[in-house]
Amino acid sequence: MNKKVGDKEIILKLLSTFKDSIGTKKYYLVFIFGFLTSIVSILEPFLFIKIIHYIEEFYKTGAFDIKKLGFYMIYWGVFIAFYLLLTYINRYYFIDKSNLKYYVYVFKKYSKKILSISYGDFLGKKAGELYSRLNKGIKDSFGLLFFFFMEIIRSMSGIILVIIVLFIVNPIMTIASISMLPVMIFMGMFYNKRTVELQKEINDFDDKNYGILADSITNTYLVKNLILEKKFFSLLSKNIRLSYDKQLTVSKRWSFLDIYTGVLVMISRVIVILTGSYLISIGKLSLSMLFLYFSFIGWIYFPLSFVFTKLRHIKEQLTTVGKFFEEFDNLELEKGINYDENIKKYNTKGDIEFKNVEFGYSKDKLILKNINFKINAGEKIAFVGNTGSGKSTIINLIFRLWEINKGEILLDGNNIKNINKSHLRNSIGLVAQDNSLFNLSIKENLLFAKEEASDEEIKNALTLANADFVYDLKDGIDTVIGERGLKLSGGEKQRLSIARLFLKNPEIIILDEATSALDNKTEKLIQKSIDKLLKGKTSIIIAHRLSTIKNVDKIFMVEDGKIIESGKYDELIKKGGKFNELVNPEHLILN
């Protein structure tokens, strides 16, 4: 749905999704029972009018058949009981249960899509807006379906049936009853058209505000550090004020429609009474039939009035649902990964080779240019270079977060394009500078690496990672660590990340500036854990500290997307090239 779509397309898409969620057979049964309930409901006034007719006859003739009246009273009572039972079946078994099935189906379908979004597509979106649209889209589509089957199907079909039946009984009284209907429909459509674009703008402001709020919450530390609270609040206040002003305009227009509706209903009643009185005076209509037509004015106008009154909300929901389908049906999903398979390690030795690899987000702007290197199983290598040189991009390509433009990336001689991404990634472990953890307990975070790990295995992993501090916490390994692990220090988070890798035990380990943000004392402690972790593994290190890269098997110097030098530390120093220029032994870092 890349092109602009109308309400009709959105409704058809919604009904199609609803049909998929409950199955074709039940989908049509929902409609059938809705119509059946509507048909039965309009019969009840005719039974009631029959009783009124007997009373009318009594006043005319003085004769009163108590048996017939009693029969119709019993018949009426049985009918009411049947109608209530039918209403219950329709409401619970066909509307409520079907809508709840739809809710579960849509939530599972689109939450899976979000989790399967390609890395590139994700970077171009705001997490807050995604969450807002998913949440509002599912809720509003659920509400729309409920309203459609409870009000539109039942009420609208009831109105049409009532008009047909009344027209058969007395065309003149029917025309009098519905004389104001075209005016009401015109006014409803007129106001609906005037609020469409305004409602879309209001929804855009809401999405934008949730996006801003999510960004500020996610980056709470940065917001407080840069004293941005006032700036963010000012921006949110400005947007909500604009949304408020536009919403007032919309509400004002619909409030006028309420007045028009009330006036039209009153005019209709006057027309029916005047027309009916005239027909009674000339003997063309009975009092009971006038009572019937007067009663049915409510059946025609009030449901229609209710629908028009709800049009503003329906329009809001249709706009939201349209954006929801447009956003999530067009998400770029990650290819080459099968989430339905049991995630298992790719049985790799750990040989990695890049052959003539080129990569860029667009063809005219390459980030990596003709990259060639080979890492043998069990080797420890390092990538060094300035920020933006392409080091982290190489790591992302190994994970297949991006697909290369040209060349090959081989794992044990096999092109990684032919390896399921879930299996590939489960064979690689990463310790980054900022290791985000989930807002769960320490134990739950560790079990993501190995779901079936025993308490003994967890304890062993924590010991190897020098992360025994967790047992000194009040709740031990059941301690909930806060959003992105913010209740822990940087060093504590790193040690938990390393413990997680000890549990996972992958064949390939990647360290991306793993100790750059730590003080020397904490670095030394974590370096001991890292040394244990890397033993016998293929290891790739990105770092600026000489202590981290000095003893690796090979160093690759990356500049402007190219590998310009490679070799052991001492070899590169003797060479006197670019690497030698960057080395600052006095400060033990690469400048």
DSSP string across 246-274 = HHHHHHHHHHHHHHHHHHHHHHHHHHHHH
Residue 347 lies in a domain: no
Predicted confidence at residue 224, as pLDDT, reads: 64
C-alpha neighbours within 13 Å on the C-beta side of residue 199: 23
Statement to judge: residues 326 and 444 lie in one domain: no
Q: Read off the CATH number of the domain in which 181 is found.
A: 1.20.1560.10
Q: Give per-residue pLDDT as tens, 177-213.
A: 888 888 877 877 776 667 666 767 777 777 777 777 7
pLDDT band of residue 327 (cuts 50, 70, 90) is confident
Statement to judge: residues 300 and 371 lie in one domain: no
Statement to judge: residues 324 and 472 lie in one domain: no
Q: Across 144-158, 405-419, 479-493, which has the greatest mean pLDDT? A: 405-419
Residue 342 lies in a domain: no
Domain hosting 439: range is 352-587
Q: How many domains does the chain have?
A: 2
> Could you tell me which of 493, 556, 553, 554 has the C-alpha nearest to residue 529?
493
- Calculate mean pLDDT across residues 320-333: 86
pLDDT > 90? residue 24: yes
Three-state DSSP class for residue 376:
coil
Residue 346 lies in a domain: no
Statement to judge: residues 379 and 304 lie in one domain: no
Predicted confidence at residue 2, as pLDDT, reads: 47
- Calculate mean pLDDT across residues 357-371: 86
Q: Lowest mean pLDDT: which of 38-52, 366-380, 471-485, 540-554?
A: 38-52
412 or 60, greater pLDDT: 412
Statement to judge: residues 380 and 279 lie in one domain: no
- Calculate mean pLDDT across residues 275-301: 82
pLDDT band of residue 355 (cuts 50, 70, 90) is very high
Residue 1 lies in a domain: no
> Could you tell me which of 528, 509, 530, 527 has the C-alpha nearest to residue 518?
527
Statement to judge: residues 444 and 569 lie in one domain: yes
Tokens of 547: 């202590």
Mean pLDDT across the chain: 81
113 or 68, greater pLDDT: 113
Angle between helices 181-218 and 127-147 (to 10 degrees): 150
Predicted confidence at residue 485, as pLDDT, reads: 62
Q: Give per-residue pLDDT as tens, 405-438.
A: 999 999 999 999 888 888 888 888 888 776 667 7
pLDDT band of residue 587 (cuts 50, 70, 90) is very low
Distance from C-alpha of 527 to C-alpha of 521, rounded to nearest angstrom: 10
Statement to judge: residues 254 and 398 lie in one domain: no
Q: Across 215-229, 281-295, 370-384, 431-445, which has the greatest mean pLDDT? A: 370-384
Tokens of 178: 């519905």
Residue 336 lies in a domain: no
Residue 343 lies in a domain: no
Q: Give per-residue pLDDT as tens, 510-535.
A: 988 766 655 667 667 777 777 887 88
Q: Read off the CATH number of the domain in which 568 is found.
A: 3.40.50.300
Statement to judge: residues 319 and 373 lie in one domain: no
Residue 107 lies in a domain: yes
Statement to judge: residues 206 and 110 lie in one domain: yes
Contacts of 589 by beta carbon, 8 Å cutoff, 6+ apart: 544, 545, 546
Statement to judge: residues 433 and 505 lie in one domain: yes
57: part of which helix (H) or strand (E)? helix 24-61
> Which of these three, 266, 295, 330, is where a domain ends?
330
Statement to judge: residues 505 and 412 lie in one domain: yes
Residue 337 lies in a domain: no
pLDDT band of residue 26 (cuts 50, 70, 90) is very high
Distance from C-alpha of 218 to C-alpha of 382, rounded to nearest angstrom: 32
